[in-house]
Chains A and B, each alone.
Chain A
Amino acid sequence: MLEALPGQALPLLILNGAVTLALLVAAIGYVDLSRRVEDPQLAWLAAALILFSFGQMHAFLFPPLPDWVSWSDGLKLVGYLVLLFSMVIRLSGEIAERASGEERLRLSRELHDGLAQHLALLNLKLRRAAGTGHSPEVRARNLEAAIRLVEAASLEARQAITALRTGRVSWAEFTRTLNAFAAEFADNHEVEVRLTAQGQIARIDAELQAEVLRLLQETFSNAIRHGAAHALDVEITAADGALEISVRDDGSGFDPHAALAGPGIGLKSIGERLERRAGTLRLVSAPGHGALVRGRLPVLSQPQRSAA
C-alpha cells in the first residue's frame, strides 16, 4: 500500500484518511439535506463539499507539501470557486429583486398620486352631480369638473403607458407631448397657454417627462382654480444637463410661504417629487401680481439618481 502511495508515512495516511472519510460523510449528508430542504445555498455548499472530499482523497496521491500545487489543491480551489459563484448568483438575484421592488414602489406611487386621486375626486363630483339636494347650476358645474377629471385621468394613463413602454423619449417627442398637453388644457379650461421650448437633450427619461407633465398639470390647475388666471406662459429650457421649467400666470397671485405652510398638498407634493429627483422648486408670487413657478430637474441616469 505504501508503495502505491509513495512519500507518505503511515500517520499521514491515517490522518488524511480520517479527514477524507469525515468530509465524504459531510458531503453525502449535505447533499441529502439540500434535497430535503430545497435550499439553493445548501445545494451549492453540498457541491463544494463533494469537491473538497475528492480533493482530500487526491491528497493520498501526493502529500500536502508546502510550495507544491497538486490536484488536491486544484479540486479544492474549484470548490471555493463554486461557492464564490453561488454568492455572485445570490447577490445578482437580490439586486434584481431590489430593482423590481423599487419599480413596483414607483408604479404604486404613480398610481396613488395620479389615477387614484383623479378617480376619488371624480367619484365625489359625480355623487354631487347626481345628488338631488343641489341646484341645476351646481350639478352642471360638478359634471363639467367630472369631465375634466376624466380627461386628466386619461392623460395620466397615457403617460403611464408611454413611460412603461418606451423608457426614453427624444426631445421632439417630449416637446410634442408637452404641446399636446398645453393645447388640451387650454381647450378644456378656456385659457390661453403659450409654451416655448429652448435647447435640446438627446434622450429624456419617460419618468422625467411624467414629472414635468405632473408639474405643469398641478401648476396650471392651481393658476385657474385659485388664481382665476386667463393666460399661462410656459418656458422649458434644456441647459447644463438639466431642465428648467418656468410657468408664469396672470392670476390673483398668492403668498408662497402661506401656500406651502397651508393644508394644500399640491405644491408640497410637487416639491417632494422634484426633490426625489435632486431637483428644486421656486415660487415667486404676491397677492394681485400673478405667480411664477420655477422648477429645475437634472437629467440623471438611474444610478446617478440613486446616488443623488
Chain B
Amino acid sequence: MLKSNPFPTAQGGYPAAARAETGGTAQTYLLRKLGWQGALWLALAIVSGWLLLNQGIPIAFKKPLLTVAIAATTGVVGLAIAQLGAVRFVVLGGRFDLFAGLAFGTLAVTNLGLGLLRPIAELSQLTPQVSMYTLLFGQAVAAVLFLVGLASARQVIPDGARRVFAWRRGVIVLVALVVGASVLLMVGDRLPNLLDPRTSDLLLDTTPCSRRSLARRYRC
C-alpha cells in the first residue's frame, strides 16, 4: 500500500496484482522496491559515471564570491540542523540526534570559518595547504560524530540527564575543534603537501577546469 508521506518508506516488495492495478512498468517496480534511497544512490551514481566518462565536462570553476555564498548557506543551514538535533535530543533522548546535531555543528563551524572568515579576515596563516588540512579535519570530526551517533543509536538518555550529557559532549567537541584548528594553523605548512607542486598554477587560473585540461596540465 502506498502511503502519502513526504518521504515514502519503501518496505517490502509490491505484489504483481498491485503492480497491474497501478499500471507500473518493470522499471518503476524496481524503483519502488529499491525505495527513494535506492533511487538517490542510482541517480548519483549515474551523474558520477557521466562525469568520469566525459572528460571535457567542467568539474570546477574559480568563483570566490560563489564559494562565500555556499559557505554562508551551508554554515547557516548546518547551525539550524545542529539546533534541531539538540532540541530533538532534549525532547526524545536519542543519542543519534545529539551526535548528528554535533556533526552538523562541526561542519557549519568549519564552513563558516574557512568560507567566510578566511576571505574577510585575510588571515595569512590560512594558506591553501592549511585551509585544506583544516577542512579535512572538520569533515573527519563530523564523520566520526555521525558514526558515533549511529553506533549508539538504540541508547536513550534518561530525561534528567540529557542537558548535562549534551553540554559535556558539546564542550568536548568544541575543545577538540579549537585545539585541532590551532595546531593546524601553527604546523599546517610543515605537514606533508596535499597538492601537487604544479597546482600553484591552477590557483592563479580563472578558466573552468575539466578532467581533460587538468590531465594535460599535469602531464607536461
Contact = CB atoms under 8 A, between A and B. Distances in A.
A44 B7 contact: yes
Contacts of A38: 9
Contacts of B62: 67-69
Interface stretch (B19-27, B141-149, B177-185): B141-149
Main secondary structure of the interface of B (DSSP, over half): helix
Interface string A63-104: 111111111010111001101101101000000000000000
B11 A35 contact: yes
B215 A6 contact: yes
Contact of A65 (B70, B146, B203): B203
A44 to B, nearest CB: 6
Nearest to A15: B136
A87 B140 contact: no
A23 B143 contact: yes
Interface residues of A, number: 59
Contacts of A47: 7, 36-37, 40
A80 B128 contact: no
A223 B91 CA distance: 53
- Name, among B52, B132, B198, the residue most crowded by chain A CB atoms within 10 Å (CB to CB): B132
Interface in B162-181: none
A31 interface: yes
Given A62-B214, A77-B70, A51 B44 contact: yes
Contacts of B63: 67-69
Interface in A17-75: 18-19, 22-23, 25-26, 29-31, 33-35, 38, 40-47, 49-51, 54, 56-58, 61-71, 73, 75
A25 B147 contact: yes
A80 B37 contact: no
Contacts of A75: 44
23 contacts: A3-B219, A6-B196, A11-B193, A15-B194, A22-B140, A22-B143, A22-B147, A30-B146, A33-B153, A38-B9, A43-B7, A43-B9, A50-B41, A51-B40, A54-B44, A62-B214, A65-B202, A69-B67, A70-B60, A71-B51, A71-B59, A87-B81, A87-B84
Interface of B: 5-7, 9, 11, 35-37, 40-41, 44, 48, 51-52, 59-64, 66-67, 70, 73-74, 77-78, 80-81, 84, 88, 96, 100, 104, 114, 118, 128, 131-132, 135-136, 139-140, 143-144, 146-147, 150, 153, 191-196, 198-199, 202-203, 209, 211, 214-215, 217-219
When A and B form their complex, which 9 residue pairs have the shortest distance between CB atoms, in order from nearest? A22-B143, A26-B146, A12-B194, A70-B60, A6-B218, A29-B150, A43-B7, A67-B64, A80-B77
